[in-house]
Amino acid sequence: MHDIVLIPGDGIGPEITNAVTTIFDKVNAPIKWIRCSAGLSAHEEQGDPLPDDTLEAIDNYRTVLKGPLTTPVGAGFRSVNVALRKKFKLYSNIRPAKTLPYIKSRFDDVDLVMFRENTEGLYIGKEQWIKEDSHAESIAVVTREASQKIIRSAFEYAKKKNRNKITLVHKANILKFTCGLFMEVGEEIAEEYPNIEYEDLIVDNMAMQMVMRPEQFDVIVTTNLFGDILSDLASGLVGGLGLTGAANIGDDAAMFEAVHGSAPDIAGENKANPIAFLLSSLMLLEHVGEEKLADRIRQAIFYTLKDKSVCTPDIGGHGSTTSFTEAVCNYL
């Protein structure tokens, strides 16, 4: 049995969580869920978006499956996602984007994995007003140590999964110190992996290349903000945010989550596509050594995609979260 902290989250979070636990129950997955809360629901119920008992559970069990959390825009509490990534030093955000069978998208041969540095860049929360209401400043931080960790984890992943090419994305022509350092570390580490092709691209060019010819990319590694934007772009290439999973991995903790948000516009309507969260939960299964079980569930999901009557509306289906879940269970 693997003890996993489960945070259903806000908005559609509880609905897609239910899909995962139902399917895992169906195959008797050796997982014991430790249910905890975080986000807007925790803020409203317990007065704290990241309660102490949730932090204690993560500290204790170190592996988490987390639903989407609502972050108020502008004023209000800061992102719990960012806080968790920082606190547990989850420096690698890993997002595969692969063309799925029976899903209509603009391309039919995308198979890339995005490695996004998860703890630094412009996301460190160092913002200040220089002059209230008219002049604000954000600070971006890039360190050699964090750059080494994310870039090395991308190379190690490529080596382990027999992938051939790493593309490092930056803006070192303008951000000469921060992106310059990231790129310098990339070049140093690339020398240690002579069997893996290495290139670097400026982020604006990368955005165009990904839309024009995504099949040329394999493993991509980049800083926090660029990774945030490009990984959503990558999801768009394979059919949208409802179809890609994500892992946040550190040296001694890991958190798996759907890449989309809490989708308040469809929350409670049984319309949420559970596939992204399911794919994240399969990354979790692989992480704890249950690769065969993950493959089995993945095949059932792919098979179920064939039948549009059970799929959710965002992927052209006429079904619901529960009809999709039931169909996967029936197939299993």
State which of residues 263, 279, 284, 327 lies at the interface with ligand NAD (CB under 6 A). 263
State the maximum Cα–Cα separation within the chain, in Å, rounded to a whole number: 61
Helices and strands, counts by H and E, the chain: 11, 12
| Cα dist from 65 to 56, 119, 203, 249, 332, whole Å | 15, 19, 31, 12, 22
Q: Which stretch binds ligand NAD (CB under 6 A): 50-58, 62-70, 214-222, 289-297?
A: 62-70
Active site residue 218: no
- Binding residue for ligand NAD, selected from 96, 186, 214, 242, defined by CB under 6 A: 242
Question: Which of residues 192 and 265 has its CB atom nearest to ligand NAD in the complex?
Answer: 265
Q: Does 228 qualify as catalytic in the annotation?
A: yes
Residue 10 falls in the annotated catalytic set: no
Q: How far is the CB of 321 from ligand NAD (least distance, A)?
A: 8
CB of 13 to ligand NAD, least distance (A): 8
Q: From the CB of residue 189, how many other CB atoms can be counted at a distance below 10 Å?
A: 20
In sign, the C-alpha dihedral spanning 227, 248, 151, 110 is negative
Which span sits near ligand NAD by CB under 6 A: 54-62, 93-101, 254-262, 280-288?
A: 254-262
d(CA 43, CA 37): 9
Tell me which residue of 135, 170, 134, 137 sits closest to 151, measured CA to CA: 170
Q: Give the containing element (helix H, strand E) for 166.
A: strand 165-170
Residue nearest to ligand NAD (CB): 261
Site of tokens 């600070």: 139
Which of 68, 239, 245, 319 touches ligand NAD by CB under 6 A? Answer: 68
Q: Is 50 in the site for ligand NAD (CB under 6 A)?
A: no
Establish whether 61 is a catalytic residue.
Answer: no
Binding interface with ligand NAD (CB under 6 A): 12, 68-71, 81, 241-242, 257, 260-266, 272-273, 276, 312, 314
Catalytic residue numbers?
Answer: 123, 171, 204, 228
